[in-house]
Structure 1
Amino acid sequence: MQARASSGAITRTVHTVTEADGLVVSHVRRTRLPSGLRIVTEQMAGARSASVGVWVGVGSRDERAATHGASHFLEHLLFKGTSERSALDISIELDAVGGEFNAFTAKEYTCFHARVLAADLPLAIDVLGDMITGSLIATHDVDAERDVILDEIAMHDDDPDDVVQNLLAELAWGDGSPLGRPIAGTTASIEAMTPAQIKRFYRRHYVPANTVISVAGALDHGAVVRAVKKAFGRQGWLDELAAPAPPRATAARRRPKVSAAEGRVARPFEQVNLVIGREGLTRDDDRRYALGVLNTALGGGTSSRLFQEVREQRGLAYSVYSFASHYADSGLVGVAVGCLPDRTDEVLAVVREQLRLIAADGITEDELARGKGQLVGGMILGLEDSGSRMVRLGKNELVHGEVLGIDEVIARIEAVTIGDVRAIAAEVFGRPELLALVGPA
C-alpha cells in the first residue's frame, strides 16, 4: 500500500505481523521525502522505549588518501556542538531522560543512534537532527578531537584482534585501496587532515539522499515523520533541491581482485593471533544465506567443526571462530584463532585440513539443521529489543534498499539445501588463501 502526501512524501506499509487473534505485533512503514531522505519505522506492540538511528551512506571506503579517516573523524565531531547546542548540552539533554546514545563508523556507512523512553523520542530525534544538519566543526574542536582519535588508534594498535583484521584487509585489497585501509585512519592521515577537508567531506556526503532514519519501538509513524521534518529541516537541509547522494567509491572501479598473500606483524604479545581468509561474497549475492549456514557449521558455536577440532579435541586454542563479511563489490570469509606461539604451525595445519575437507565434502545433514537453527534462533533472539530492530531496519534500507520481513528471511534460510552449502564451500574455500599473523617475532 502506497500513499503520496500533499507534501510530496511517499509512504507505504512494508509489512505487518499479526497474532492469530488479530493483534498487530509489528508494523513496518517507510516514507521517502522529496529530498530523498528515507524514514523507516517499526511499531512494536508492548514496547515502552524507542530507538532511533541516523544512517549515512559514507564510510572509510569512500575516502581518498588525503581524507583517510574522515568518516570516523566526523563521527566524533558531530557530538562537539552546533549553533543551538554545545557538546555538554547534547550530553545533558539525553542524560537527563536516561537516554543512551552513541555512534559507529564502518567501511560503507556511519550510524548515530539513541535509545530513550517512548515519550522522549521527539527529543532524541531533535538532538540527532541538530547534530547531523548543524555541526559547527570548529577548528578548536578538530584539534582537540584529533588527539582523542590518535589515542584511539594507539589503543587499537595494542589490540591483536584489531591488528590482525586490519592486516587481513590490507592483504586482501592492498593499502592503496580504501577497502584495505583501517577505518579510523592512520597517525599520519589524522595528523595531516585539516578542518577545511573535513568540512568539504561533511557537506558532500551528509545529504538527505544519502541518509536513512530508522526508528523502532513504541511509536506512531506519522508523528515520527513530522518530528524528523522539524528536526532535520534546519538550515534548509530538507529542501527539494538538496544535493543528490554522491556516487559510491566503487562506481567507476573494477571489482577488487583478491590474490594469495601472507603477512606478519611483530608484536610483543603472549599469543599469536592468526586469520586464514578467502575472498567471500558481495552483500547482494543471494548465496549469502547458504554461506551463513556454512559459516555457522564451520565455526559459529561450540558444536561447530573448528571449535570441536581445535579446542575440544586437541586443546590448541581458547578462541577459534569463523566469520563472513560482505561489501558492495567484494567480501571476506575467514577463520580466526589465538594460540601460543609454539602451537602456530599445528593450528594452521588443523584449520587448513578442516577447510580442505569442507570444501571437498560440504557439511552433513545434521550440521545443516543445526546451522539453520542457530541462524534463525540467533536472529530472533537478537530482535527482542528496539535497538536491534532499529539497526536491522536502517542497515537493510541503506545497504539493500529494502527491509525484508522476519518470516521472509527465515524462509530464505530454511530454503538452503545441503547442495547449496556444498557448492559455496567448494567455491569459496577453493579461492586463493590469505594468511595474516600478529604476535612475537
Structure 2
Amino acid sequence: MIKRLLCIALLLALPLSAVASSQDLQRFSLANGLEVLILPDHTLPIVSLGFYIPGGVVAQEVDNSAAHITYTLLSEGTHSYSKQDIHAAEDRGGSIETFARQRTGVIRATVHRDDAQTSLSALISMHQEPLLPAQRLDVVKNQTQAAIANRQAVAARHAAYLFQQSLYQSTPLAFATQGQSDLTAQLTREQVQAYHQQAIRITDGTVFVAAGDVDESLVEHITARLEQLPARQLEGVEPFSTFADNSPLDEKHSASTQQAHVFLRYPAPPADDHCFAPMHIASTALGGGMGSRLFRELREEQGLAYSVSASMGVTVANPGMRVSIGTAPGNITEALSGMERQVKRLFREQLTENELERARNYLLGNHLLSRETVGDRVLHQAIHTLMGLSHSYDEDSIKALEEVDLNQIQDCARQWLADAKPDRFVYGEPSE
C-alpha cells in the first residue's frame, strides 16, 4: 500500500506531457474503412502495434464464449505463420496478445523496434487467415469451462454475472466473456470459424494503432500493408449502441452462502457528458477505496460489510453507477438501507473539501497508473476512438477532474440521482 501511494504521489507530480499526450497523434482513414492512429514515443526502442475491433462478446449470437475462444485460438497458428513463429518475438522480450472484451476484440503486439515489421505481418495473418485448429479448440473449451466453474464457485463473481444477465436479459449485454458452461461445451469449430469471419476479419470501423518508436518509414510500411486488406464490415449489431435493459429491476435470489451480495445500479452520465467528471468524483467519494463513505460508515463504523464499492465506467452506451456490498445474509435489509441512504447524501448535502480532494487524487492516480506503458495508453486511445470520443479525451478528462468544484458535484448528483429508481439485485437472500 505504501509503495502504491508513493507511485501515485510521484505520478501526480509529473507534468501531463510526461505521462500521455495526443499532441503528436497522427490519425487517418483508409479506403477499406480502417482508422489508423500513429502515436510516436521515441523514449525506448519499443513499438506497440494492434487491431482494435468493434464487436467482441456482443457480436455473439448466444452466451457460448465464442468471442473469448476464437480470439484465444488466433495465436495458435495461421496459414502463413506457425504458433512458434507468432510467438518468436516473446523470446526477445516482446509480447503477443489476443483477447475479447464486452464490445471489442484486440489483436496486438508489443515488440522491439527491429521486430515491428515481422510482428505486423503476423498480426495481419491472425486477423485474416488463422487456422483455428480443431485439436486446440477442445483444450481451450476445457480451459474456459474451468474458468466458468471458478466463477460459479465464487459467490461475488457469480452474483455479478447473474445481475448482468437479469439486467440485460435477451440482449447481447447479458453475455459474459466466459459464458454459460453448457453452451460453451456445444461450441463447434464451424461456429468459431463463422465468428471469425463475421466479427474479427472486419476493417470498417476497426482501429489500428502503432505507437512507440515509430518513424516515417515504418508508418509507410504499415499503411501499405493495411491498404491491401479487403473491406469488410460487422453485420447485425452496433457494438457501441445502447441496449435495452430491464430497469427498474428488483430481484432477490436465495442461495446457500455465508455472504450475501447486494447490487444497486443508478443512472449515470455518458463519458462525453458535462456531468461525467462531477459524477465520477461523487461515485468515488461514495465507494472508491478505504477513505470512501461506504467503507468508513457501513464497514468500519457499522460492521455491515466485508466489501463495499461504488464505480462508474468510461462509456457512451448503457452508463451506470454501480454500488455493491458483501454482507451477512441477516444484514441484507440494513445494508441495503445504508447504501441507499449514502447515495441520497450525494445530492442532499455537499461533499467536504477533504472528500473532494481525496476522490480527485484517487481518480487521477488510478488514471495515470493504468497508462504506465505504451500498450496501456494505446488500448485506452483505441477504445476511446471506437466509442467516438475525442482523440484528446484522456487529457480533457484529466482537466475536467482538476476543475470540478463542490457545487457542480451536488448539482449533477441531484440531476442524475434525486428522482432515480435504482436497480436492486440481491444474491444470498435467506430461504424462508
Normalising by structure 2, we get a TM-score of 0.83
One-letter code aligned to 1:346: E
Aligned to 1:34: 31
Which sits farther off after the overlay, 305-314 or 363-372? 363-372
1:150 and 1:265, CA in 2 relative to 1: closer, same or farther beyond 3 A? farther
Determine the C-alpha separation between the residues in 1 that align with 2:130 and 2:371: 32
Aligned to 2:68: 72
Determine the C-alpha separation between the residues in 2 that align with 1:203 and 1:250: 16
Determine the C-alpha separation between the residues in 2 that align with 1:18 and 1:340: 47
Q: Where has structure 1 moved over 6 Å in runs of 4 or more?
A: 250-254
Q: Does 2:290 match 1:302? A: yes
1:146 and 1:18, CA in 2 relative to 1: closer, same or farther beyond 3 A? closer
Native 8 Å contact 1:212 1:397 kept in 2: yes
Aligned to 1:6: none
1:196 to 190, 193, 198: 190
2:59 to 38, 58, 62: 62
* Matched residue count: 411
Determine the C-alpha separation between the residues in 1 that align with 2:248 and 2:22: 48
Once the two structures are superposed, residues 300-359 of structure 1 have per-residue CA deviations (whole angstroms, 9 ceiling, x without a partner) of 222221122123333433432211135553122112222344444433232222112224
SS at 1:219 equivalent: coil
Native 8 Å contact 2:249 2:425 kept in 1: no
SS at 1:301 equivalent: coil
Q: Does 2:422 match 1:433? A: yes
Aligned to 2:9: none
Among all aligned residue pairs of Structure 1 and Structure 2, give the percentage whose two residues are the same amino acid.
Answer: 22
One-letter code aligned to 2:197: R
Determine the C-alpha separation between the residues in 1 that align with 2:166 and 2:206: 31
One-letter code aligned to 2:164: A
Q: Does 2:252 match 1:263? A: yes
Native 8 Å contact 2:266 2:422 kept in 1: yes
Once the two structures are superposed, residues 18-45 of structure 1 have per-residue CA deviations (whole angstroms, 9 ceiling, x without a partner) of 79xxxx9962212322111122122224
Aligned to 1:3: none
Determine the C-alpha separation between the residues in 1 that align with 2:256 and 2:223: 48
Native 8 Å contact 2:95 2:111 kept in 1: yes
1:274 to 248, 253, 262: 262
SS at 1:226 equivalent: helix
Q: Does 2:71 match 1:82? A: no
2:114 to 104, 116, 119: 119
CA RMSD of aligned residues (A): 3.0
Aligned to 1:50: 47
Aligned to 1:313: 301
Native 8 Å contact 1:30 1:40 kept in 2: yes
Native 8 Å contact 1:272 1:339 kept in 2: yes
Please report how far the alpha carbon of residue 363 of structure 1 lies from its aligned counterpart in structure 2 after TM superposition. Answer: 2.7
Determine the C-alpha separation between the residues in 2 that align with 1:399 and 1:29: 18
One-letter code aligned to 2:191: Q
Aligned to 2:5: none
SS at 1:112 equivalent: strand
Please report how far the alpha carbon of residue 428 of structure 1 lies from its aligned counterpart in structure 2 after TM superposition. Answer: 3.7
Please report how far the alpha carbon of residue 109 of structure 1 lies from its aligned counterpart in structure 2 after TM superposition. Answer: 0.8
Instruction: Give structure 1 stretches of 5+ with no counterpart.
Output: 1-16
Please report how far the alpha carbon of residue 107 of structure 1 lies from its aligned counterpart in structure 2 after TM superposition. Answer: 1.7
Q: Does 2:310 match 1:347? A: no
Native 8 Å contact 1:171 1:263 kept in 2: no
One-letter code aligned to 1:80: E
1:197-276 superposed matches below 5 A: 197-206=191-200, 207-220=202-215, 222-227=217-222, 229-230=224-225, 238-239=229-230, 242-246=231-235, 248-249=237-238, 255-256=244-245, 258-264=247-253, 266=255, 268=257, 270-276=258-264
1:74 and 1:328, CA in 2 relative to 1: closer, same or farther beyond 3 A? farther
Please report how far the alpha carbon of residue 55 of structure 1 lies from its aligned counterpart in structure 2 after TM superposition. Answer: 0.9
One-letter code aligned to 1:192: Q
Determine the C-alpha separation between the residues in 2 that align with 1:70 and 1:354: 40
Aligned to 1:10: none
Determine the C-alpha separation between the residues in 2 that align with 1:343 and 1:256: 28
1:394-405 superposed matches below 5 A: 394-404=382-392
Please report how far the alpha carbon of residue 122 of structure 1 lies from its aligned counterpart in structure 2 after TM superposition. Answer: 2.9
SS at 1:27 equivalent: coil
Aligned to 1:8: none
Determine the C-alpha separation between the residues in 2 that align with 1:368 and 1:395: 28
Aligned to 1:151: 146
Aligned to 1:4: none
Determine the C-alpha separation between the residues in 2 that align with 1:283 and 1:225: 34
Normalising by structure 1, we get a TM-score of 0.82
Native 8 Å contact 2:72 2:99 kept in 1: no
Native 8 Å contact 2:58 2:102 kept in 1: yes
Native 8 Å contact 2:315 2:387 kept in 1: no
1:329 to 317, 322, 327: 317
Which sits farther off after the overlay, 312-321 or 296-305? 312-321
